[in-house]
Chain A
């Protein structure tokens, strides 16, 4: 139970001073009084801790009430100030602004007085309780070691599930989240083997696997990450093995985090992207045909100006189609399908076909193609779709970022244990500071030269993801104004 706050009344009007004093005393408050601000400050200096609420007249002569309030503020005092004034006008507003809690009129009735004081007391008490709670919390956390109860309380407040096992894979601790998830009552499950208590085969095998891995000393990082489905929820599981000082595996700690919501959101986002992309394809197909009909004069003669505008419209349409395809590729990759199917591939044939597609669409740019494909290369085990995407993106970039009449070299050969694809152009090149970012998702370089070139900044991101999925590497070298070279190395043996 908290004690009543201590009062200090400051007023040079002795009638008011006495009235306040006797009212407060009648309800059992401890009261001190002062008749000037100077006297009040002296009391505060000596007995600061003994004053909780101060009734302060705003009509004090000399230093005045404001200086008292200032001092309180400067010393970060917790004392609550209730101003007393004739009309609670301008000066009261200023006082409240400076930190006073409220104002009471000199002409107060007993009833009015208590309404105001009660509120102030309540306010003060609340603030003090908060303060005490804060201190208590700090003192708990500052302890050097925790007793079991404290520990349990802490573990039960975290939203994640927590399971600790010993080296026989028996449960030694679990928090209330885990109890909820697996319907465990009280401490009943303690000491039992995990397969008897954790009714989720995936989780049990995750824990067993991570312990075995740790025991065999095979993994340097004794942490396993996985995901399980339980009660319709998707939980991310993080398992760490515990080792004694001499390196023996003595148990495991598993953390279960609910990621259902995130998963649903990701799914929704992905579904939306692919739905919109597919829906866009039908109108884009029609549009492309219609523009071609008009451009080819099949719907009547058109003027040069019309032809020019429609030609641009067709270009824009094609860019939009490329974007839609990129988005669908991206969706596929982010679903973890960078590699759909591994089969032995003749990369030479795939490259030839990709170049055919590209040269067709670049014929008006008059690019000089130089293609060297070494014959009889060994077959490469990879994903056909992915490889096509790699070639098409690198070559289309080389064409796109090279001006009319430029040169693009493509080379495919075996190099050591790798198959190596090199795409070189003598185009606009890439500045050093951009070079680190070209593989980032949606990264596009904005310069005078690239302004008019369309794209979504997805191409190289997709390429990198596919190459990574094949355990390959991609390397880029470039000089602004001179040209760019991309080299992809794909290991023949995995």
Chain B
């Protein structure tokens, strides 16, 4: 469904800017936050339909943001995609098991990510919402 709100929380401004443009071209409304704390505030105030969370960030890291969200009944239904620069392979095994299960993120994607793959992951989660 077009017009859905996505919040990107990532401290890399260049990455945010480019990703925003790509998602906007797919008719999403995109907001940005650049650290974990700001991210959590905006998740509360803007009630996005989906959150893209970078793992390594100042102030509060992505895992923590995710854990807090999922523990909050008001926010726990918002799908979260965790993004990390940790090696794809490591990410898929040890991470999925330990951090992924703990944080209850809905998907996790290794950086660098192909724009198409990111869009595909978003679409899959938002479709599941309806």
Smallest beta-carbon distance B56→chain A, Å: 9
Shortest CB-to-CB span from A300 to chain B, Å, is 11
State whether B90 touches A385 (Cβ < 8 A). yes
A229 to B111, CA, bound (A): 38
Cβ-neighbour of B18 out of A281, A290, A321, A360 (below 8 A): A290
Check B88–A325 contact: CB distance below 8 A.
yes
**Residues A285 and B22 in contact, CB atoms below 8 Å apart:** no
Q: In the complex the two chains form, is A281's CB within 8 Å of B14's CB? A: no
Partner of A298, one of B14, B15, B21: B21
State in angstroms the CA–CA spacing of A278 and B15 once bound together. Answer: 16
Return the CB mask of B1-29 against A: 1 if under 8 Å, else 0. Answer: 00000000000101101110110110000
Q: How far is the CA of A281 from the CA of B55 in the complex (A)?
A: 13
* A284 proximity list for chain B (CB < 8 A): 112
Residues of A within 8 A of B (CB): 277-278, 281-282, 284-290, 292-293, 296, 298-299, 321, 325, 328-329, 332, 340-341, 360-361, 383-385, 388-389
Contact segment of B73-81, B99-107, B113-121: B113-121
B35 to chain A, nearest CB (A): 15
Quick one: which of A282, A296, A360, A384 contacts B111, CB cutoff 8 A? Answer: A282
Cα distance A341–B92 in the bound complex, in angstroms? 12
Q: How far is the CA of A289 from the CA of B112 in the complex (A)?
A: 9
Kindly list chain B residues whose C-beta atoms are within 8 Å of the C-beta of A292.
18, 22, 114-115
A284 to B88, CA, bound (A): 14
- Chain B residues in 8 Å Cβ range of A332: 87, 89-90
Q: Of the candidates A282, A286, A299, A341, which one forms a contact with B21 in the assembled complex, judged by CB atoms under 8 Å apart?
A: A299
B117 to chain A, nearest CB (A): 8
Q: Does B94 contact A (CB under 8 A)?
A: yes
A298-B22, A384-B92, A385-B93 given as contacts; is B87 within 8 A of A285 (CB)?
no
Taking CB atoms and an 8 Å cut-off, the chain B residues in 44-93 that contact chain A are 85-90, 92-93
Number of B residues contacting the other chain (C-beta, 8 Å)? 26
A389 to B87, CA, bound (A): 12
**Closest partner residue, chain A, to B87 (CB atom):** A328
Q: Are A296 and B25 in contact (CB under 8 A)?
A: yes
12 A-B residue pairings within 8 Å (CB atoms)? A277-B87, A278-B85, A278-B86, A282-B12, A285-B15, A289-B19, A292-B114, A321-B112, A329-B89, A332-B89, A385-B90, A385-B93
**Dominant secondary structure of chain B at its interface with chain A:** helix
A332 to B94, CA, bound (A): 13
The one of B86, B88, B94, B114 in contact with A288, judged by C-beta atoms closer than 8 angstroms, is B114
**Contacting residues, chain A, for B90 (C-beta < 8 A):** 328, 332, 385
Report chain A residues within 8 Å CB of B21: 293, 298-299
Residue contact B88 to A290, C-beta cutoff 8 Å: no
Beta-carbon contact of B85 and A285 below 8 Å: yes
Is A340 within 8 A of B94, CB to CB?
A: yes
**Supplied contacts A296-B115, A383-B93, 19 more A-B pairs, CB within 8 Å:** A278-B85, A281-B111, A285-B15, A285-B85, A286-B14, A286-B15, A288-B112, A288-B113, A289-B14, A289-B19, A290-B14, A290-B17, A293-B21, A296-B25, A298-B22, A325-B87, A329-B89, A332-B90, A388-B89
Which of B85, B88, B93, B114 meets A384, CB within 8 Å? B93
A289 near B92 with CB under 8 A, answer: no
Given the contacts A286-B12, A286-B18, A296-B22, A360 and B116 also touching, CB distance less than 8 Å: yes
Please report the C-alpha to C-alpha distance between residue A388 and residue B14 in the assembled complex, in whole angstroms. Answer: 31
The list of the 4 closest CB pairs from A to B, nearest first, reads A289-B18, A286-B14, A281-B85, A285-B112
Are B89 and A285 neighbours in the complex by a CB distance under 8 Å? no
B120 closest partner in A (C-beta): A360
Instruction: Report A-chain residues with C-beta under 8 Å of the C-beta of B14.
Output: 286, 289-290
Residues of B within 8 Å of A325, CB to CB, are 87-89
**Also in contact, A341 and B93, with CB within 8 A (given A281-B112, A285-B113, A360-B116):** yes
State the CA gap A459–B73 with chains docked (Å): 46
**In the complex, chain A residues whose CB is within 8 Å of the CB of B94:** 340-341
What's the least CB distance linking A273 to chain B, in Å? 12
Contact A298 B25 (CB under 8 A): yes
Q: How far is the CA of A332 from the CA of B15 in the complex (A)?
A: 28
The closest CB in chain A to the CB of B114 belongs to: A288
Once the chains are docked, how many angstroms separate the CA of A281 from the CA of B112?
6
Instruction: Closest B residue to A295 by CB, please name it.
Output: B115
Cα–Cα distance between A286 and B54 once the two chains are bound (Å): 13
Chain A residues whose CB sits within 8 angstroms of the CB of B114 once the complex forms: 288, 292, 360-361
Q: Which of A289, A341, A361, A388 contacts B115 (CB 8 A)?
A: A289
CA distance A309 to B21 in the complex (A): 21
Q: How far is the CA of A281 from the CA of B113 in the complex (A)?
A: 10
* Bound-complex Cα distance A481 to B89 (A): 34
Whole-angstrom distance from the CB of A226 to the nearest CB of chain B?
A: 28
Question: CB-CB < 8 A to B117: which residues of A?
Answer: 360
Within the complex, the shortest CB–CB distance from B108 to chain A, in Å, comes to 14
Once bound together, how far apart are the Cα atoms of A321 and B111, in whole Å? 9
Q: In the assembly, what is the distance between CA of A340 and CA of B115, in Å? A: 30
Contact of B92 with A285 in the complex, beta carbons under 8 Å: no
A20 to B115, alpha carbons, bound, how many Å? 97
Residues of A within 8 A of B93 (CB): 340-341, 383-385
Residue pair B22, A385 in contact (C-beta under 8 Å): no
